[in-house]
Amino acid sequence: MGSVKIPYYVVKKGRYGYWQPTKAMRGQGFAPVRCGIDGPAAWAIAQSWNERWQRHRAGNERQAVPEFPAGSIGEGFDRYRKTTEWLEKKPRTREEWERAWARIKPIFGDVSPLSPEVNLESVAELRQLVRDQVSQREAHRVIKIWRALWRVLAALGYCRGKQDPSSGIRNRAPQARQVSYSEGEAVRRAKAAWRSGYRGMAVAIAIAWDTQFSPVDLRGLTPAKISGEGDARHFDIGRAKSGRDAIGTLSRRTLALLDAYLEKEPCEVGAILRNRSGAPYSRFTMPDDFRAVSEKVQPGDKRTLADMRRSGAIELLAGAATPHLISAKMANTIDTSNTLQKTYQPVDLAAVRAADEARRVGRARMRQK
């Protein structure tokens, strides 16, 4: 077979082709792409992604005029995103900021924080608009990020901290979600996903049920994060939001599903979980595919993949798990707010295995009710 020279295209183990962007390119949203077995089809995929990158780079080069005027809120946010403080934020936290900024930008991006347009009434109207068009939860997030952004702007000299107009708004937190799944519901969704061709989603559901990982953690799973051998295989990760170490144990059923998936969709590097096009799941495609699968199983069901995490916690509580076991399983500080807990009681495999047993006990007790 012949060979070609396509920028950023590499062949792993003499067989599989990958388009691997540099770190700087990944920072602009371009992720590694698995192109398939090395050959003309893989070359075409790699070439198409290289062309996308070249178009993106050319567009950036043409953008000589700053997007936001001097002294504006948008300029201040752009400056902040170039600081080490921003770069050191966890990916999930940066994602939350960007999500809120997408709603703040159209109204306030090009104005100064000292402008008369930035006042209590206008910020309150923004919150009301988001609440009416999206949700109470999203409105709460927007104001929370606005307040954090205002403090950043004050630190950069754009305004004074005590002048934040949102201080006159009572930012009511939305009611906590209460919905959950049973084991049978999770299994039925995984089976429906596999049978419908959503194989990556089937594995995502199975892993989410076993590990209680959040969707953002699921999207970051790679072959390099698999530890152990045989039935003892598990995931070792650092949680995307908290940064705390986490261990994701897997049942034999999930391991068998994962092996079947990797046999059909080989993955040497990069994200394991991919959509039907072969692209790694994003924060948009993962919920879309889960919604499509849930609609097949239970039309009108509004529960999300993230609710799997709560379901596990409910089983743990029913199984009389200790706060330490719950914290070990969920990789958070639910047991204590003392930061020393992370140092002197680190997550370990034995604790997570004990939490798994508590879940099984809790599941059995819930069935008996």
pLDDT, tens digit, for every residue of 138-161? 899 999 999 999 999 999 999 988
DSSP 118: S
Tens digits of residue pLDDT in 164-195: 999 999 887 776 666 778 888 999 999 999 99
Q: Poorest-confidence range of 11-15, 228-232, 252-256, 268-272?
A: 11-15
pLDDT grade for 335, boundaries at 50, 70 and 90: very low
Q: How far apart are CA 150 and CA 227, in angstroms?
A: 43
- Contact between 93 and 241 (Cβ < 8 Å): yes
Count CA atoms closer than 13 A to 140's CA, side-chain side: 9
| Share of residues in the chain with pLDDT > 70 (%) | 84
345 pLDDT exceeds 70? no
315 pLDDT exceeds 90? no
Number of other residues whose CB lies within 10 A of the CB of residue 82: 9
Domain ranges of the chain: 9-60, 73-168, 183-368
325 pLDDT exceeds 80? no
Strand runs (DSSP E) across the chain, as ranges?
Answer: 9-12, 16-19, 33-37, 226-227, 234-238, 245-249
User: Is CATH 1.10.443.10 correct for 183-368?
Assistant: yes
Q: How far apart are CA 152 and CA 134, in angstroms?
A: 26
Tens digits of residue pLDDT in 48-68: 888 888 888 777 645 446 788
Q: How far apart are CA 17 and CA 334, in angstroms?
A: 43
Beta-carbon contacts of 79 under 8 Å, excluding residues fewer than 6 positions away, are: 156
Query: For 157-186, b where at least 16 C-beta lie within 10 A, e where not — what string?
Result: ebbeeeebbbeebeeeeeeeeeebbebebb
- Give the residue with greater pLDDT, 96 vs 336: 96
Tens digits of residue pLDDT in 20-33: 888 888 777 777 88
Residue with tokens 């399983």: 329
In one letter, which amino acid is 146?
A: W
Helices within 220-348 (DSSP H only): 252-264, 285-297, 307-318, 323-330, 340-344
- pLDDT for position 333: 45
CATH top-level class of 73-168: mainly alpha
**What helix, strand, coil percent values describe the chain, rounded to 5?**
55, 5, 35
- pLDDT for position 294: 93
Q: How many helices (H) and strands (E) does the chain have?
A: 16, 6
- pLDDT for position 361: 80
108 pLDDT exceeds 70? yes
- The residue count for the chain: 369
Strands across the sheet containing 226-227: 226-227, 234-238, 245-249
Count CA atoms closer than 13 A to 367's CA, side-chain side: 9
Beta-carbon contacts of 124 under 8 Å, excluding residues fewer than 6 positions away, are: 168, 169
